[in-house]
Structure 1
């Protein structure tokens, strides 16, 4: 779902507030080669495509035509599309008719509020009912079934759940990932706007005021001036958070890594050569960090795309974070 869920929620909410009907088009299954994987979705209203995409091309064109017809009939359905030509795959698409009812308004409002508050939740789509639901820590809206019966918390991506009350398609909407960037130099200045554009929340820290100035990072959620050896006092790192060290030298990297390895951060990346990383690793071992601890560190940070300039390095880092967020295998750079 990633950043597109913001557009989906806003489009649905705008239609519901205006008393308009919508069709939520969701790719629930993909086999073989398909332009998008399951979970891709789009909103169609009386004016046509309102937000999102399920992959473009002829498949999306046909799905858009079907959605427009279902919108006139005020109903939903499940369709299977066989992709001929280059793709050759097969996809199942769920068309959910969303009328401006109070329960649908509550569901979309709760989803929109959770997204803006950076909270996780689950979008719930019945296969046979003309309504949607959103489940979060605040409860459930728009689905007439107890949450505990759905085993919804077991869904970490997208899945179909069968219950005695019916079949539901469930998509997890993750917290927006926070990226703590230590070091506000040239790479960070190029990196932050890229990460913000692709849906990450950036927090920048430097031990020099001139490199943690908010005007340098208008796309950052926050900028702080902190001594790198005092980070434990200020930051509450969560398991979904990422930590990046792009400080000006190995002393800064040492302090950031020492801090990072004591947190549950799911990703720790450090800029610089393998030689520099080896020097920092030896210092960390002297204060009782193990090889297992150090294996958590990705260094040198970034995909191996031959990057040299700060902007190119920022692209390589952003690409690696996309891979991490998507749960794919990462290929690190060989050094700068």
Structure 2
């Protein structure tokens, strides 16, 4: 292997990495794509971690840092010279070359593809789906031969894979439901190893209320890569300088804004207005909508009373109310505004990644 001088990693959010890949292809800029196709045990990053490596050793994104990333850069530079796919296993149990640094204790398999142009058409489908906020899969199939062969394709939701021996629909549903990449071992005589990665739209957070809690939640959500929209009816709390860059603010009638706002399974709504009556108005506007998460600030006594009002007045069904996380957030003993925001975002992430999250118990049921 060549030994290029190691370069600093350029952090790139997963969604942005697809666009950077397309930009490199458009510029006819040589690079290799390094993908973690399998991760077993304790590893720095899971299967689906990806990075782009230029011939100089500059890396965009990450496959885990440290020794595994150093090896990935060296293999990528070799692959760019030979124009052949390289597959390598990295053992983090300590049985490999001596390494003075602590290691995790797992095992990873990485694929280095120096010819991403072969999947250029599929990449454009990914970008189109992201722009439309549509779900789908990125499927990578690795065929053992001399040299190795890699096939990649984008699967729009519900369409068959244009690959030999496509994965069963049940496995596709499992992959999408968990929000994590799914590694499938090779099946002799049918297909090689396969990695299925769910491609989800950029998560969107609608923060209803721009007060202290709203500002803290918006800041943490932006840090976590969410597209953030703050909804307020008070101009002084909808000022852009109260929030991180790229956070959008909408000021006006809260009910009207929420009724007209597009929502989907990748949208999270947090209600934290200046009072329970305003929270109730906002909740009426969105409790019946499709979304991934709905949470509301509220005391353990006020929430049951509001539930009783919503059910009795026909503003929500029992099933619709059951989707609401209120009081909002994980029960971590949060006191400060920043801690409350952490509890809220942790609950949102748990629902997004696991399908549900623990709830704060109510003091009584009506």
Shared fold (TM-score greater than 0.5)? yes
Match of 1:97 in 2: 114
Q: Please give the alpha-carbon distance, in whole angstroms, between the structure 1 residues aligned to 2:325 and 2:241.
A: 29
CA distance in structure 1 between the partners assigned to 2:277 and 2:32 by the alignment: 55
Closer, same or farther: CA 191–182 of 1 in aligned 2, 3 Å: same
Q: Give the Cα–Cα distance (whole angstroms) in 2 for the partners of residues 177 and 197 of structure 1.
A: 12
| Aligned-residue offset at 1:46 | 0.6
Structure 1 pair 233/34, CA: closer, same or farther in 2 (3 Å)?
closer
RMSD after superposition: 3.3
Rate the CA distance shift 1:87–1:121 in 2: closer, same or farther, 3 A: same
- Displacement of 1:215: 4.8
Structure 1 residue matching 2:338: 3-state secondary structure: helix
Contact preservation (8 Å) 1:98, 1:130:
no
For structure 2, the residue ranges without an aligned partner over 5 or more in a row are: 1-11, 95-102, 144-148
Give the Cα separation in 2 of the matches to 1:268 and 1:36.
29
Residue 328 of structure 2: aligned partner: 301
User: 1:118–1:175: 8 Å Cα contact kept in structure 2?
Assistant: yes
Q: Say if 1:38 and 1:56 are closer, same or farther in 2 by CA, change over 3 A.
A: same
- Alignment check: 8 A CA contact 2:254 2:282 kept: no
2:182 aligned residue:
159
Q: Which residues of structure 1 form unaligned runs of 5+?
A: none
C-alpha deviation, 1:267, in angstroms: 0.9
Counterpart mapping for 1:1-336 below 5 A: 4-85=13-94, 86-99=103-116, 101=117, 103-128=118-143, 129=149, 132-136=152-156, 145=162, 154=173, 155-156=175-176, 157-160=180-183, 168-217=194-243, 218-228=245-255, 230=256, 233-288=259-314, 289-327=316-354, 330-332=357-359
Q: Is the 8 A contact 2:34 2:113 kept in 1?
A: yes
CA drift at 1:226: 1.3
Contact 1:301-1:333 within 8 A present in 2 as well: yes
Residues 18, 236 of structure 1: alpha-carbon distance in 2 compared, 3 angstrom cutoff: closer
Q: Does the 8 Å contact 1:43/1:50 carry over to 2?
A: yes
Cα offset, 1:19, TM superposition: 2.6
**Alpha-carbon deviation of 1:160?**
4.8
CA contact 2:137–2:197 (8 Å) conserved in 1: yes
CA positional deviation for 1:251: 0.9
